[in-house]
A = this chain, B = another copy of it.
């Protein structure tokens, strides 16, 4: 198959490298900054640099841009896409992009299937892309009414390039779960490192500090878009968290060992039940 990857940042670059190293598909790379595409070509991460004609040859198109940019790109380039081609995004939010992309699919006669590769790093850009980034990771698919065969094709490609688990979901469930599993940890990490103690942590810290602060090294432009486009479920999860945090803080303030130990034990039991 001809696979077009639009946007060669960490996710797009990793898709290209993973497809090239695990399959025989022909990879066409598109990037706003030409030098990055040239680098990807010379790395062997892509087989050719794309243009409108190349887009028309693609059997699968993987959008690896900011959420709104995915919609804008297809609005402008939908006319070049081959009839029946499979288009997927890789956005971290789904309610804000899937309905528009499904509507564009009907307009331009291609098939849209939403997806979200659950992998990343605390750095961005093509230079940190990695053909092994998806090894062992989950790949969430939101079919959004697409035919079963297209969903299977995308799931098979994901499995072929290293994803360990395919999760079928819908935009609402996806966005609610992602608010908890991904967005909340990023907000916590940022709030955490704003303590005046943080710049002096070295020599006093270990794994707990490292882990909770890791994702504070955030791409503020991308994540503020992701947070605001997912405002309702995110605010709900933030309220759940601040309520649970308050219960623990109150027990500490009131020197109430029994309540405090019981709250910590609840946390312990959740992790134990998950086998983590």
Contact = CB atoms under 8 A, between A and B. Distances in A.
Contacts of A228: 252, 255, 257, 260
Contacts of A248: 187, 190-191
Contacts of A192: 184-185, 188, 241, 244
B201 A177 contact: yes
B195 A244 contact: yes
Contacts of A198: 180, 270, 274
State the number of copies, please.
Answer: 2
Interface stretch (A23-31, A42-50, A99-107, A203-211): A203-211
Given A140-B203, A211-B185, A263 B190 contact: yes
Contacts of A211: 185, 211-212, 214-215
A167 interface: yes
12 contacts: A119-B207, A120-B206, A122-B271, A138-B206, A177-B197, A177-B204, A178-B204, A190-B244, A217-B267, A217-B276, A218-B264, A224-B257
- Can you list the 6 inter-chain pairs with the closest CB atoms, starting with the nearest? A190-B267, A167-B203, A220-B264, A211-B211, A180-B197, A185-B208
Given A118-B204, A119-B206, A167-B203, 6 more contacts: A138-B203, A188-B192, A195-B237, A216-B267, A228-B257, A242-B249
Interface of A: 118-120, 122, 137-138, 140, 165, 167, 169, 174, 176-182, 184-209, 211-221, 223-225, 227-228, 231, 234-235, 237-238, 240-242, 244-245, 247-249, 252-253, 255, 257, 260-268, 270-274, 276
